[in-house]
């Protein structure tokens, strides 16, 4: 299974989570939309990242997952006792396609995506697709 995640806020995962290891590219908590799909991401999953320009530029293969990270003001407070799940990986391909075109071309459905336009509704974070 493949996944799309939204980093339109341009969160610098590599910097925030560098004390754990290299290659962080996304994080999410249980209170955020898309958590159920996000929990299905495993080692070797492919994750397409929507960037701040609303393009899918990079496709990552997940090489590591760390659960339970505790954050405070976007800094790691503890690597245990929290509820943040962090993905680590390597870029395996590049795409350069507007996310809504990709979503429509691949018929990806989510309650946080407009089915007619493929555009995100507020709160979109993650969705799985085949």
Q: Which residue range is the domain that position 99 belongs to?
A: 2-129
Say how many domains are in the chain. Answer: 1
pLDDT given for residue 72 in this prediction: 85
User: Tens-digit pLDDT profile for the chain (130 aa)?
Assistant: 999 999 999 999 999 999 999 999 999 999 999 999 999 999 999 999 999 999 999 999 999 999 999 998 877 788 888 999 999 999 999 999 999 999 999 999 999 999 999 999 999 999 999 9
Dihedral of CA atoms 59, 105, 38, 122 in degrees, nearest 10, equals: 110
Q: Are 22 and 42 in contact (CB under 8 A)?
A: no
CATH at residue 108: 3.10.590
pLDDT given for residue 101 in this prediction: 97
Kindly give, in sequence order, each residue whose CB lies less than 8 Å from that of residue 81, ignoring residues fewer than 6 positions away: 68, 70
**In angstroms, rounded to a whole number, what is the distance separating the alpha carbons of residues 51 and 48?**
10
**pTM for the structure as a whole:** 0.94
């Amino acid at each position: 299974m493949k996944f799309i995640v939204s980093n339109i806020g341009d969160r610098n995962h590599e910097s925030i989570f560098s004390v754990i290891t290299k290659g962080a590219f996304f994080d999410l908590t249980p209170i955020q939309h898309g958590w159920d799909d996000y929990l299905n991401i495993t080692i070797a999953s492919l994750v397409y990242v929507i960037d701040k320009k609303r393009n899918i530029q990079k496709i990552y293969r997940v090489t590591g997952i760390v659960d339970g990270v505790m954050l405070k003001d976007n800094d790691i407070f503890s690597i245990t006792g929290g509820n943040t799940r962090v993905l680590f990986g390597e870029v395996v391909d590049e795409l350069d396609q507007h996310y809504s075109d990709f979503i429509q071309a691949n018929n990806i459905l989510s309650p946080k995506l407009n089915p007619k336009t493929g555009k995100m509704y507020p709160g979109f974070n993650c969705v799985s697709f085949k």
